[in-house]
């Protein structure tokens, strides 16, 4: 390695290293002080590296939370997807993922992870939330252990916070610019127009949006208001192509265009009432396109959002539960019967999609968690659910994560 290093000028070194995946580059930092400075501290190199390599899914972050309590759970689990690669063509081996619980130990306090975007993460200070509690947000990069802090006034546990960061839109060789978006839901009493029942109180619900800019270092409240009386946000939001998306609990997706500061509510591909069992669903991203992932008694469905304004979806992938079981006999038995029976008893779902990114689905099946690469048709056991959960009634935030060299 020493001779190889000596034979490269700085331009050639840039050219070679800029094509190497982040995980390998982290090891190359030990070659010499020069290599360390190029990989870790040179913004121009990091910009070139982003242009030359595509972000690769590294794993998933699992943050558990209580359903009916303001108290936070401090344990955060990170599952890398190495076991998915090792499982390829290994019929006798069931390699599980290595679970990491100290991913955020570099931060000055315990945190709750809220959002993930292009290698950066947004967390908040871990505490018992009350109206008087001061909440600190951390925007950080666990790969290089860098972070910055910002205050989040009047934080409420029912609101959703999403980090937005596009390294291809803003030149990171100058600075790292990002936004943080807060969406809140409110209820107001409305006048009853029914003269026969004047005493009846009607409630109307609406969403508001607040934005933080790393450039101005200020929060501002958007003028946009989205009236929505059908339910609440079901899971954490995601950011794709300058638009934020939140899945609601009523077959809709709330959206917010960051540039135009305009919201829109679009329908999901198929109403949940079309199925015998209540379907389990999540939204995710596949190569810059919003995806809607649903598990029903009919199988696993993945739709692409083709037209944002017309809410036009295209079914890109479908596989029956019988075929999933037949192709993975080591993992599943009587899969469809279990899914239907569990739904009929109104219990926690037998099969639940937790997160989806670039063709890889993280899903819980009974007491196990699996990676499923639908493009390569590969499945591997990540872990047992008890390895991640400390609560008997888990309500987790699950986020995809890609390693990045982006500095803060």
pLDDT tens by residue, the chain, 408 residues: 444 455 457 777 888 888 888 988 988 888 888 888 888 888 988 888 888 888 889 999 998 876 666 677 788 999 999 867 655 545 444 456 778 889 999 999 999 999 999 999 999 998 755 545 678 999 999 999 999 999 998 888 788 999 999 988 887 888 899 999 999 998 887 766 555 555 666 778 999 999 999 999 999 999 999 999 888 888 789 999 999 999 998 889 999 999 999 999 999 998 877 777 678 899 999 989 999 999 998 999 999 999 988 899 999 999 999 999 999 999 999 998 888 876 655 567 889 999 999 999 999 999 899 999 999 999 999 988 888 876 655 678 899 999 999 999
Q: What is the pLDDT of residue 89?
A: 47
Burial of 66 (0-12, 13-18, 19+ CB in 10 A): middle
> Considering the domain boundaries, does residue 126 fall inside one?
yes
pLDDT digits 0-9 by tens, 318-336? 999 999 999 999 999 999 8
130-155 b/e (C-beta count within 10 Å ≥ 16 → b)? eeeeebbbbbbbbbbebbeeeebeeb
Specify whether 281 is located in the same domain as 352: yes
Instruction: Round the CA-based radius of gyration of the chain to a whole number and report it.
Output: 23
- Residue 149: φ, ψ to 5°: -120, 155
Residues 67, 46 within the same domain: no
Closest of 129, 112, 123, 120 to residue 76, by C-alpha: 112
Q: Are residues 184 and 265 in the same domain?
A: yes
pLDDT of residue 51: 84
The verdict on 84 and 45 lying in the same domain is no
What kind and span of H or E run contains 368? strand 368-373
- Give the range of the structural domain holding residue 40, as residue numbers without chain letter: 1-53
**Domain match, 44 and 62 both:** no
Which pLDDT does position 240 carry in this prediction? Answer: 95
- Whether 257 is in a domain gets the answer yes
Residue 406 falls within a domain, yes or no?
no
Regarding whether 182 and 34 lie in a shared domain, the answer is no
User: Do residues 43 and 69 share a domain?
Assistant: no
pLDDT of res. 339: 85
pLDDT of residue 92: 40
Summarised one tens digit per residue, pLDDT across range 118-153 is: 999 999 998 755 545 678 999 999 999 999 999 998
| Claim to verify: residue 168 and residue 199 sit in the same structural domain | yes
Residue 407 falls inside a structural domain? no
Within this chain, do residues 144 and 211 fall inside the same structural domain, yes or no? yes
CATH number (domain holding residue 151): 2.120.10
Inside any domain, residue 408: no
- Number of domains composing the chain: 2
* Three-state secondary structure of 100-158: ECCCCCCCCCCEEEEEEECCEEEEEECCCCCCCCCCEEEEEECCCCEEEEEECCCCCCC
282 shares a domain with 246? yes
Residues 129 and 147 in one domain: yes
Asked if residue 259 belongs to a domain, the reply is yes
0.85 exceeded by pTM: yes
Last residue within a domain, chosen from 13, 29, 53: 53
Separation CA 390–CA 259 (nearest Å): 40
The reported pLDDT for the residue numbered 387 is: 83
Within a domain: 238: yes
Asked whether residue 40 falls in the same domain as residue 84, the answer is no
How far is the C-alpha of 250 from the C-alpha of 153, rounded, in Å? 29
Residue 85 belongs to some domain of the structure: yes
């Amino acid at each position: 390695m020493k001779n190889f290093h000596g034979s490269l000028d700085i331009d050639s070194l840039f050219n070679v290293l800029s094509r190497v995946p982040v995980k390998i580059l982290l090891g190359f930092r030990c070659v010499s002080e020069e290599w360390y400075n190029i990989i870790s501290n040179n913004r121009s190199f990091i910009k070139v590296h982003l242009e030359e390599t595509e972000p690769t899914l590294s794993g998933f972050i699992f943050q558990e939370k209580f359903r009916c309590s303001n108290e936070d759970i401090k344990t955060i689990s990170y599952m890398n997807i190495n076991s998915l690669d090792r499982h390829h063509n290994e019929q006798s081996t069931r390699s599980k993922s290595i679970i990491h619980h100290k991913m955020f130990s570099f931060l000055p306090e315990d945190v709750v992870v809220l959002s993930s975007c292009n290698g950066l993460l947004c967390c908040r200070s871990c505490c018992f939330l009350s109206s008087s509690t001061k909440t600190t947000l951390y925007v950080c990069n666990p790969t290089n252990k860098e972070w910055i802090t910002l205050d989040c006034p009047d934080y409420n546990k029912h609101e959703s916070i999403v980090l937005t960061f596009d390294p291809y839109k803003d030149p990171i060789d100058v600075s790292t610019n990002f936004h943080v978006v807060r969406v809140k839901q409110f209820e107001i009493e409305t006048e009853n127009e029914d003269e026969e029942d004047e005493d009846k109180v009607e409630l109307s619900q609406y969403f508001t949006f607040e934005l933080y800019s790393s450039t101005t270092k200020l929060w501002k409240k958007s003028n946009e208001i989205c009236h929505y009386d059908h339910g609440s946000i079901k899971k954490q939001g995601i950011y794709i192509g300058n638009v934020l998306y939140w899945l609601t609990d009523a077959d809709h997706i709330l959206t917010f265009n960051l540039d135009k500061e305009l919201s829109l509510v679009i329908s999901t591909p198929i109403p949940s009432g079309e199925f015998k069992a209540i379907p389990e669903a999540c939204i995710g991203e596949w190569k810059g396109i919003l995806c809607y992932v649903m598990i029903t008694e009919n199988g696993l469905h993945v739709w692409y959002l083709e037209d944002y304004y017309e809410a036009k979806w295209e079914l890109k992938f479908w596989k029956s539960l019988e075929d999933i079981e037949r192709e993975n006999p080591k993992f599943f038995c009587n899969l469809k019967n279990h899914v239907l029976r569990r739904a009929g008893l109104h219990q926690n779902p037998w099969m639940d999609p937790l997160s989806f990114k670039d063709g890889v689905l993280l899903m819980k099946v009974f007491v196990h968690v699996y990676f499923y690469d639908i493009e390569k048709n590969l499945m591997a056991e990540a872990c047992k659910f008890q390895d991640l959960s400390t609560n008997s009634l888990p309500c987790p935030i699950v986020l995809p994560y890609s390693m990045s060299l982006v500095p803060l």
